[in-house]
Amino acid sequence: MGRLSQRRKVHKYVLGSEHPVRHKEDVLAVEEPLEIRLSTPLGGMTYSVTMRTPGDDFDLVAGFLVSEGVVWESGQLVSERFCAGEDEQGRQTFNVVDAQLRPGVPLPATGRNVYTSSSCGICGTESIEAVRRSSHHSPAGDGVRLLPELVAGLPARLRAAQALFDRTGGVHAAGLFSVGDDGTSAELLCLREDVGRHNAVDKVVGWALREGRLPLAGTVLQVSGRASFELVQKAAMAGIPVLAAVSAPSTLAVELAEESGVTLIGFSRGDGFNVYAGHERLVAS
């Protein structure tokens, strides 16, 4: 677990105490860059660099490629491997992943698609249209139904499974739950943690791609932070019908959820929540 967290010496201030400054160790979540390279029999390219918490890197890359529309089924991603790379001490960094695409899967024309960045400067209508053009798994027709009590209990279940957060207090989490046919039960299929909330979701989606589970019909994606446009986009691209967040959504996130058929839930904190889109999937007790 050394690559996930590190111990650092800190000066802890406790105001009003006999010894206001104390020396102690704190545990921090690791953050390192990951370079994503794509290769085919006809060539290759450096596609993107993202900052992430090391661990589940192959899931992260696979999920990132799903959210970008590069791949949408498991057979399109032939293999993933770490490329050679060393730090100043000569240790392998594991910070470069080469993803080999199946023959016939085209390389992107450029690097990362601009519509996945909230700071790219293009308008909301163009952003939503870009997702519509790239999506291969529409959640709009998903018939999943779920009780409000089930939804309200998911944040606590997510928090109980966050091992890295327990040590560091500094990572986001995304948990994928499979909903039972009657909407009264849910099984935690996959949980991933990362300093970036987008990375945590990509790791979950990448796990699903590598397990041959896409599209993710009948599932709920519970996340620990807010519901941004990018998170709704990632859910829609993976065919996830319900996205629940413990904090607020953005306006563009709500617009995309309405357009793509994703039920978007915010402020889900145990005793209630708000439904911003797709309320018809919630059924009475």
Rounded CA-CA distance 139/237 in Å is 9
pLDDT for the residue numbered 62: 98
What does the buried/exposed string (b/e) look like for 109-148 if buried means 16 or more CB atoms within 10 Å of the residue's CB?
eeebbebbeeeeeeeeeebbebbeebbebbbeebebebbb
**pTM for the whole structure:** 0.90
Question: Which domains, from first to last, does the chain contain?
Answer: 148-281 (3.40.140.10)
pLDDT for the residue numbered 89: 65
pLDDT for the residue numbered 118: 32
Residue 26 DSSP SS3:
strand
List the chain residues with pLDDT less than 70. Answer: 1-2, 85-93, 112-125
Rounded CA-CA distance 114/116 in Å is 5
Tell me the per-residue pLDDT of 2-21, one tens digit each, with 9 for 90 and over: 588 999 999 888 898 888 88
Nearest to 162 by CA among 154, 171, 150, 153: 171
Cβ contacts of 100 within 8 Å, gap of 6 or more: 39, 40, 77, 78, 79, 80, 81
Rounded CA-CA distance 37/20 in Å is 49
Contact by Cβ (8 Å): 67, 40: no
| Active site positions, annotated | 120
Rounded CA-CA distance 214/156 in Å is 26
Nearest to 47 by CA among 105, 118, 96: 96
pLDDT for the residue numbered 87: 59
Contact by Cβ (8 Å): 78, 71: no
